[in-house]
Amino acid sequence: MASKTTGVIRPNDHTVSSNGQAVFRRHDLSKVNLALFNDVKSTRTILRDSLRKIGFRPLNTKIVGVLGNLRSAVRQDGIDMLILEADRQPQAVHDLVRAIRSGTLGSNPFLVISIVTWRPDKERIVSFLKAGADDVIVMPASVGFASERVDSLIDNRHKFVVTTKYLGPDRRLRSHTTVDELGTILVPNGLRFKTMGDESAKPNGARLRRIGRVVDDHRLRRMTVRLEALSGQLESAFREQPDARPEAEDMRELPELVSQIALLARDGGRMKAAELIASLRAVMQAIEGAAEMHANMFALLRVHGQALLALQRGDKAASELVVRAVRTAAKVVGDRTRRESGVMVNAAIRI
């Protein structure tokens, strides 16, 4: 018999839709463990039947109507794909997707996630994609259309990209990706593993930890670049207008960046960066506690960012740059602390 690639449809390659038409199914979904969240009884049966017609097996499909139960299901290993109906609780579903992608919910931040909505609201659709969802399907949709979307997640799932605030499928324009030195990440895909037997897509513990380290490295680099840029902007602003007040949003972002950078550097076991991170935090604390802000404090942050980037790149001059940044910070922060408090206390580390 001819293979599937010849275009000949075998009896097992299709199901029958509600109107009696055959729907071509290219992948065997019978082994896929699916979790469906739907808190609307009137549409639950429609989605359940559609999933069955696509090829998902009822025995391997967990239908959940309460978000708390869905969170419990995600924490358990074994789910290959999530389908989330989002109309009644859009913000809660958005936050849940973010929690999965950030690694704070469940052990697999790379779960295949599709959102289902009955409201063609562009702003809402974009918000789900920005949260990190793989796909958004606007209902009603034909069984054939939904099947094609599942096939696409198996065959052509987007690689992931990491930014300071986002982990998820890369939807940037091609021109943007070609100039990105970090590039994208091929992440585990339980849906592909179960349907195609692709071992490289299997989301086992070792692979999840390895890809997790790559993600952390990317995020640390992105955050360090952002720290250098933001501190440089604030330095320039204060040199031009010494009496100016920084934007509140910038001053909220700075300590968040420093905190996240310190956490990622520590978790990565980067002992060479320990002194630099301690010094960076001391400078940030001095800025937050200063009666008046000055350009040189933000210049110190920028230098620390440059030193940390040099360490990450493995530059030969990185160690010298780190020592210079730490020593300078110790002197500047110490002098400023004594001058503003009148107490002989050095807020920076001693080396």
pLDDT tens for each residue of 169-195 = 998 876 555 556 788 999 999 999 999
Prediction pTM value: 0.80
CA–CA separation, 265 and 251 (whole Å): 22
- Is the sign of the CA dihedral 86, 87, 90, 92 positive or negative? negative
The answer to whether 81 touches 35, Cβ cutoff 8 Å, is yes
- Strand stretches in the chain, DSSP E: 14-16, 22-24, 34-37, 61-64, 81-85, 112-117, 135-138, 160-162, 167-169
State yes or no: pLDDT of 306 exceeds 50.
yes
Give 180: exposed, middle or buried? Use CB within 10 Å, 0-12, 13-18, 19+.
Answer: exposed
Candidates 1.20.1280.50, 3.30.420.40, 3.40.50.2300, 3.40.309.10; CATH matching 4-203: 3.40.50.2300
The two most distant CA atoms of the chain are separated, in Å, by: 89
Q: How is residue 13 annotated by DSSP?
A: G
Range 67-77 burial, b when 16+ CB lie within 10 A, else e: beebbebbeee
Cα distance between residue 348 and residue 351, in whole Å: 10
CB 93 within 8 A of CB 35: no
Name, in order, each residue with C-beta under 8 angstroms of 14's C-beta and a sequence gap of 6 or more.
22, 23, 24, 25
Report which of 82, 31, 39 is spatially closest to residue 59, judged by C-alpha positions. 31
Reported as a single tens digit per residue, the pLDDT across 122-148 is 999 999 999 999 999 998 888 899 999
The pLDDT of 281-298, averaged and rounded, is 84
Q: Which residue has the higher pLDDT, 55 or 9?
A: 55
pLDDT tier, 241 (very low <50, low <70, confident <90, very high otherwise): confident
Domain parsing of the chain, residue ranges: 4-203, 209-341
Nearest residue to 301 (alpha-carbon basis) of 237, 349, 255: 255
Residue 14 in contact with residue 144, Cβ under 8 Å? no
More confident residue, 308 or 24: 308
Proportion of the chain above pLDDT 90, given as a percent: 52
Distances (CA, A) of 215 to 147, 180, 210, 301: 30, 15, 9, 24
In whole angstroms, what is the distance from residue 32 CA to residue 244 CA? 58
